[in-house]
């Protein structure tokens, strides 16, 4: 049971609900207010049941798969991002740690302490008014008026800005906002394409999950094998590409409506074409029965699906080749259409040259 991640999630939600119920039952005796707040918090956690929609929604599943693919590369890029912020925070504290506050460089955004410097640089990386902070950081005695307000910095006191503010902020914004953050976006797009490529395969993960679910309905003992008599029922539960494509026939009751059916003859022929290795049981209280293993059946179904995919691609290539040959069909005179076109073009050139 606990091998499935979704079963673990359901079990966690159940435990949280039981804890909430327990807190409610004993709330009148000795449970304090903090425990009651924990109970309310556990009640809010039940909203996480909506996450189970991921299993049925292929689009959401692709997005989560993209996030899983991106975790390790994202940590590397974010590590480089933090290192850049650390270096610039130390340099900023040396250059602008004593600059007098102004309209943008204030008590919320400054380089007086390391923590505030890191937050200020993170704000600049997002592009929020970084040029205003740069302008306040490069104030001098000759240019100390901001919005008609005299800031009154002094070189003697040492609270004026630095001319290195321009290369400092411009280089930082280029490295973070235009390179690092764009690398994050490019990484997510790349991994999303990888997940899309996985989904566009002939035998997709969704098809394999459908096979596992269908197998679980028949393998009640969970020993990885089913009886050969259960095989037709399993095949009926599957859909292409691992299963059989159903036939569209006209409904006998309503002649205008078509329904999809799967005939017994098609299922039998499909099973006979599979190269399955039957496994006789060592001892069975119900008498001798022939079994089929999980991995053997999945391997043969996947093999047959890939062969069918190869045949379909070969047919498509042949159709494209035939459509291409239509432009080069022989003319009644025995020459090809392309040669006739070339001769006509050359005759026009000769007439144009003779007329000149």
Tell me how far CA of residue 163 lies from CA of 63, 105, 142, 167, in angstroms. 46, 16, 13, 8
> Which is more confidently placed, 35 or 323?
323
Question: CB of 158 within 8 A of CB of 98?
Answer: yes
Reading phi first (left if > 0) and then psi (alpha if -120 to 50, else beta), residue 2 is in alpha
End-to-end Cα separation, the chain, in angstroms: 90
Q: How many CA atoms lie within 13 A of 263 on its CB side?
A: 6
Which pLDDT score is estimated for 259? Answer: 57
Nearest to 161 by CA among 89, 111, 107, 90: 111
User: What angle do helix axes 114-125 and 58-96 make, rounded to 10 degrees?
Assistant: 130
Determine the Cα angle at 107 with ends 103 and 112, to 5°.
115
Reading phi first (left if > 0) and then psi (alpha if -120 to 50, else beta), residue 154 is in beta
β-pairing, 145-146 vs 247-250, is unpaired
User: In whole angstroms, what is the distance from residue 244 CA to residue 219 CA?
Assistant: 21
> Which is more confidently placed, 12 or 184?
184
Q: Is the pLDDT assigned to residue 146 strictly greater than 90?
A: no
Q: What is the mean pLDDT of residues 144-156?
A: 57
β-pairing, 149-150 vs 145-146, is antiparallel
355 alpha carbon, distance to own chain's centre: 67
User: Which of these ranges, 27-41, 74-88, 98-112, 297-311, has the smallest mean pLDDT?
Assistant: 27-41
Reading phi first (left if > 0) and then psi (alpha if -120 to 50, else beta), residue 224 is in left
Q: How many CA atoms lie within 13 A of 324 on its CB side?
A: 6
User: What angle do helix axes 58-96 and 181-199 make, rounded to 10 degrees?
Assistant: 170
Question: CB of 84 within 8 A of CB of 78?
Answer: no
Query: pLDDT-based confidence at 237, cuts 50/70/90?
Result: confident
pTM over 0.85? The answer is: no
Beta strands in the chain (DSSP E): 145-146, 149-150, 225-227, 247-250, 258-261, 291-293
User: What angle do helix axes 294-325 and 205-218 make, rounded to 10 degrees?
Assistant: 140
The Cβ of residue 149 has, within 10 Å, a number of other Cβ atoms equal to 10
User: Which of these ranges, 136-150, 289-303, 324-338, has the smallest mean pLDDT?
Assistant: 324-338
Coil/strand/helix, residue 223: coil
Q: What is the mean pLDDT of residues 42-68?
A: 68
User: In whole angstroms, what is the distance from residue 75 CA to residue 184 CA?
Assistant: 10
Question: CB of 67 within 8 A of CB of 25?
Answer: no
Question: CB of 152 within 8 A of CB of 144?
Answer: yes
Tens-digit pLDDT profile for residues 279-315: 666 555 555 567 888 888 888 888 888 888 777 778 8
Query: pLDDT-based confidence at 339, cuts 50/70/90?
Result: very low
Q: What is the DSSP letter of 331?
A: P
């Amino acid at each position: 049971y606990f091998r499935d991640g979704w079963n673990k999630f359901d079990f966690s939600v159940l435990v949280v609900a039981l804890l909430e119920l327990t807190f409610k039952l004993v709330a009148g005796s000795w449970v304090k207010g903090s425990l009651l707040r924990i109970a309310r918090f556990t009640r809010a956690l039940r909203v996480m049941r909506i996450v189970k929609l991921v299993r049925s929604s292929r689009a959401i599943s692709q997005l989560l798969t993209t996030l899983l693919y991106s975790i390790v590369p994202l940590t590397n890029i974010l590590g480089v991002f933090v290192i850049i912020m650390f270096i610039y925070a130390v340099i900023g504290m040396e250059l602008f740690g004593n600059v007098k506050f102004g309209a943008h460089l204030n008590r919320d955004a400054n380089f007086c302490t390391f923590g505030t410097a890191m937050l200020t640089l993170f704000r600049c990386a997002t592009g929020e008014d970084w040029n205003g902070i740069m302008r306040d950081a490069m104030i001098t005695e000759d240019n100390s008026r901001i919005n008609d307000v005299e800031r009154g910095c002094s070189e003697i006191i040492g609270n004026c800005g630095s001319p290195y503010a321009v290369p400092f902020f411009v280089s930082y914004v280029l490295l973070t906002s235009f390179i690092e953050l764009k690398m994050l976006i490019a990484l997510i797009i790349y991994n999303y394409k990888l997940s899309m490529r996985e989904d566009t395969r002939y035998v997709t993960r969704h098809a394999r999950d459908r096979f596992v679910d269908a197998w679980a309905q028949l393998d009640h003992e969970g020993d990885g094998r089913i009886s050969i008599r259960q095989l037709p029922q399993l095949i009926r539960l599957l859909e292409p590409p691992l299963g059989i494509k159903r036939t569209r026939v006209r409904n006998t009751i309503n002649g205008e409506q078509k329904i999809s059916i799967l005939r017994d003859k098609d299922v039998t022929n499909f099973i006979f074409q599979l190269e399955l290795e039957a496994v006789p049981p060592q001892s069975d209280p119900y008498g001798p029965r022939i079994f089929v293993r999980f991995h053997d059946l999945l391997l043969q179904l996947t093999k047959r699906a890939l062969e069918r995919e190869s045949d379909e691609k070969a047919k498509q290539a042949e159709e494209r080749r035939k459509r291409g040959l239509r432009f080069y069909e022989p003319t009644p005179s025995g020459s090809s259409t392309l040669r006739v076109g070339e001769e006509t073009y050359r005759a026009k050139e000769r007439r144009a040259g003779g007329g000149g």
